[in-house]
Amino acid sequence: MTIRVRFAPAPSGSIHVGNARTALFNWLYARHNGGVMVLRVEDTDRSRVSEESFRAVLDDLRWLGLNWDEGPEVGGPYAPYRQSERLDIYRAVVDRLLLAGLAYPCFCTPEELEERRKAAMAAGRRPGYDGRCYRLTDVERTKFEAEGRPYVIRFHVPEEGSTTFRDLVTGHVTVDHAQIDDFVLVRKDGFPLYNLAAPVDDGMMHMTHVIRGLDLQPSTPRQILLHYALGNEIPEYGHLPLILGADGQPLSKRHGEVSIGWYREHGFLPEALVNYLALLGWSPRDGSVILPLSQIVAQFQIEDVGASPARFDLEKLTWMNGEYIRSLPDDELLRRLEPFLVRVGLVSDPPSAAERSLMAAVVPLVKTRIERLDQAAALVAGIFREVPVDPAAAEKVLGEEYVPELLERSAAALEGLEAWDRDGIEAALRGVQTEMGLKPRKAFVPFYVAVLGSNVGAPIFDSMALIGREKVLDRLRQVREKFFPGPGAAGGT
RNA sequence: GCCCCGGUCGUCUAGCGGCCUAGGACACCGCCCUCUCAAGGCGGAGAUCACGGGUUCGAAACCCGUCCGGGGUACCA
């Protein structure tokens, strides 16, 4: 039998890392087993969904590289895949349940329910729905209907017995029916609720496995009961432990970086994020940490997923991102870096041929120095354009006594260079360094400040070579004038 | 309150009764390399396996209890 899994988000903007991890595990399960990945959009709550949120979900999944075999924009045998377009289906199912006496209208108002809930709590009883509308007589029911009283539709849960299911990650779970009250299937406004739409679709779409967050585990017995009522095959369930913030609290907006969009904008590589997410709750049998998607697919076993919650560690993700950046071929890294350089205006949009070759030259210089794509610009800005000297850096390294002489002599040496290339520049500056008896660090750091504007940057000989003789000498001149004014101040031996 | 699920270095985890004086990765510390910053190499520190009982010749692993954390208890998903 072909394995069929689904990712079923309620679209509410750029997806959350927890949802991304759920999507990933479903996708991995499908790919590892040669199954089918379905994307189903659970947008039945009209008040919370919008077209942009829907688009954002698709964009995020595509960016992560998690494609779907059936779903929006690709279609499939069970289309449509947006629940908002399947309302007739749910309506028909509810009619069937009503007819069979498995569901019933409930006329209790939210206020009444709230009141009874409080009373039950106070009396130390279970606060759930007491099932009173189930016991309504036909006369009462028709009377209420005739009065036009609004109602919801509830599913009638058997009073006796219990429901047990095997959870792929957590083991067997048993819940007594006494713990499950008659839950609402259809709202007053006629719209279906999660606990109706999800199992109906899972059944119709022939899902074999339902892999989702642990927060949904309590709703599983309800859904299984509904599956029985509908005569569906019961899918297998697997509930993934939740992802927590660094402080161990549930991941929320309060932790800032929760949406996939944020990671994209801050220069994270999708393959790094996917690799990191895969390791939250799962680990490969061979114990490796950096493993390409193909390896994750090859090794992924749902049985190897742990049941304890994991904290999201931005530092580790960032390290991993650096590893992925370093492993990229130069031309690929160039392609990924481009939008980040365009974004801060270091090159035009689109970049000119000259800018493009300059970027290409710069790539190997930044490769081992960045952990996120958005960090490159600061390291190489001085190569693309003149950057004002950072006052703090100037104070720190330009203040020393030997600096004016160093700058003076070096400028002269550079001016006299026959060919302006990296090795020539290095030879010239090392010459001055030896003559003056300076340590390499002392002799070269001032140039980072003077030429690149900061004491941190891409290697200075390479940078100078790329900037060009004219501009380098000009910047050195400016620095001498600004920081060491006055005739002879920078002079002699 | 009631129900469900968890609990191994700061963090992610390995461990599926003897291979554990508990292994790896991130972070941290030291040394080496070095034109800044990195990257890289080598080394170090870091865990009474939540706690208490059992089962067993033997327990991080199995069972029970306690505690702690999370989830659910919606006309959200």
Tell me the fold of A328-384: Helicase, Ruva Protein; domain 3 (1.10.8)
Question: What CA–CA distance (Å, rounded) separates A275 from A184?
Answer: 39
- CA nearest A428: which of A439, A412, A442, A441? A412
- CA nearest A324: which of A388, A371, A361? A371
The protein footprint on chain B, as nucleotides within 7 A of a CB, is 1-8, 10-15, 23-27, 34-40, 69-77
Please indicate whether residue A492 or residue A368 has the higher confidence score (pLDDT).
A368
Please say if the pLDDT value at position A230 is more than 80: yes
Residue A248's pLDDT band, with cuts at 50, 70 and 90, is confident
Q: Which residue, counting CA atoms, is nearest to the C1' of nucleotide B76?
A: A45
- Which tokens go with A128? 């759930």
Q: What is the pLDDT of residue A491?
A: 43
Q: CA of A174 vs C1' of B17, distance in Å?
A: 28
* Percent of all residues in chain A with a pLDDT value above 90, rounded to a whole number: 86
Q: CA of A326 vs C1' of B14, distance in Å?
A: 27
Residues 438-477/A with CB within 7 Å of nucleic chain B are 440-441, 444-445, 448, 455-462
Domain range A86-240, its CATH number among 3.40.50.620, 3.40.50.1370, 3.10.450.50, 3.40.50.300: 3.40.50.620
- CA nearest A456: which of A358, A363, A377? A377
Please indicate whether residue A341 or residue A396 has the higher confidence score (pLDDT).
A341
Q: Which residue, counting CA atoms, is nearest to the C1' of nucleotide B12?
A: A280
Just give the CATH number of A4-84+243-311: 3.40.50.620
C1' nearest to CA of A187: which nucleotide? B75
Q: Which residue has the tokens 């990924």?
A: A336
ipTM entry: 0.96
Is A251 strand, coil or helix?
A: coil
Q: Is the CB of A121 under 7 A from strand B?
A: yes
Residues A7 and A23: beta-carbon distance below 8 Å? yes
Q: What is the pLDDT of residue A122?
A: 82
Q: What is the pLDDT of residue A490?
A: 44
Question: What CA–CA distance (Å, rounded) separates A104 from A109?
Answer: 15
Residues A286 and A299: beta-carbon distance below 8 Å? yes
H-helix or E-strand spanning residue A196: helix A194-204
Can you say whether the dihedral through the CA atoms of A305, A311, A316, A321 is positive or negative?
A: positive
Q: Is the CB of A33 under 7 A from strand B?
A: no
Tell me the fold of A391-483: Arc Repressor Mutant, subunit A (1.10.10)
Active site residues of A: 253
Q: Where in chain A is the domain with CATH 3.40.50.620?
A: 4-84+243-311, 86-240
Residues A359 and A334: beta-carbon distance below 8 Å? yes
Average pLDDT, chain A: 94
Q: What is the pLDDT of residue A256?
A: 63
Residue A349's pLDDT band, with cuts at 50, 70 and 90, is very high
Segment A478-490 mean pLDDT: 75
Neighbours of A423 (CB within 10 A): 10
Please say if the pLDDT value at position A397 is more than 50: yes
Residues 412-431/A with CB within 7 Å of nucleic chain B are 426
Q: Is the CB of A42 under 7 A from strand B?
A: yes
* Percent of all residues in chain A with a pLDDT value above 70, rounded to a whole number: 98
Residue A45's pLDDT band, with cuts at 50, 70 and 90, is confident
Q: Is the CB of A322 under 7 A from strand B?
A: yes
Q: What is the pLDDT of residue A487?
A: 56
Q: Is the CB of A378 under 7 A from strand B?
A: no
Q: CA of A234 vs C1' of B68, distance in Å?
A: 35
Is A493 strand, coil or helix?
A: coil
Q: Is the CB of A129 under 7 A from strand B?
A: yes
Q: What is the pLDDT of residue A486?
A: 65
C1' nearest to CA of A319: which nucleotide? B26
Q: CA of A141 vs C1' of B52, distance in Å?
A: 57
Report the range of poorest mean pLDDT among A60-74, A123-137, A269-283, A398-412. A123-137
Please say if the pLDDT value at position A90 is more than 60: yes
Q: CA of A137 vs C1' of B22, distance in Å?
A: 66
Residue A120's pLDDT band, with cuts at 50, 70 and 90, is confident
pLDDT tens by residue, A178-197 = 999 999 999 999 999 999 99
Q: What is the pLDDT of residue A441?
A: 95
Q: Where in chain A is the domain with CATH 1.10.8.70?
A: 328-384
Please say if the pLDDT value at position A492 is more than 50: no
Q: CA of A294 vs C1' of B37, distance in Å?
A: 34
Q: Is the CB of A327 under 7 A from strand B?
A: no
Burial of A383 (0-12, 13-18, 19+ CB in 10 A): buried
Segment A252-263 mean pLDDT: 81
Q: Which residue, counting CA atoms, is nearest to the C1' of nucleotide B8?
A: A308
Q: Is the CB of A295 under 7 A from strand B?
A: no
Alpha-carbon distances, residue A386 vs A4, A338, A341, A450 (angstroms): 57, 20, 15, 10
Please say if the pLDDT value at position A416 is more than 60: yes
Is omega for the bond preceding A110 within 30 degrees of 0, making it cis? no
Q: Where in chain A is the domain with CATH 1.10.10.350?
A: 391-483
C1' nearest to CA of A455: which nucleotide? B36
pLDDT tens by residue, A443-452 = 999 999 999 9
Give exposure, A184-221, as e/b (b: 16+ Cβ within 10 Å): bbbbeeebbbbbbbbbbbbbebbbbbbbbebebbebbb
Question: What CA–CA distance (Å, rounded) separates A85 from A69?
Answer: 19
Please say if the pLDDT value at position A321 is more than 60: yes
**Crossing angle of helices A376-384 and A460-467, rounded to 10°:** 40
Question: What CA–CA distance (Å, rounded) separates A463 from A386?
Answer: 12
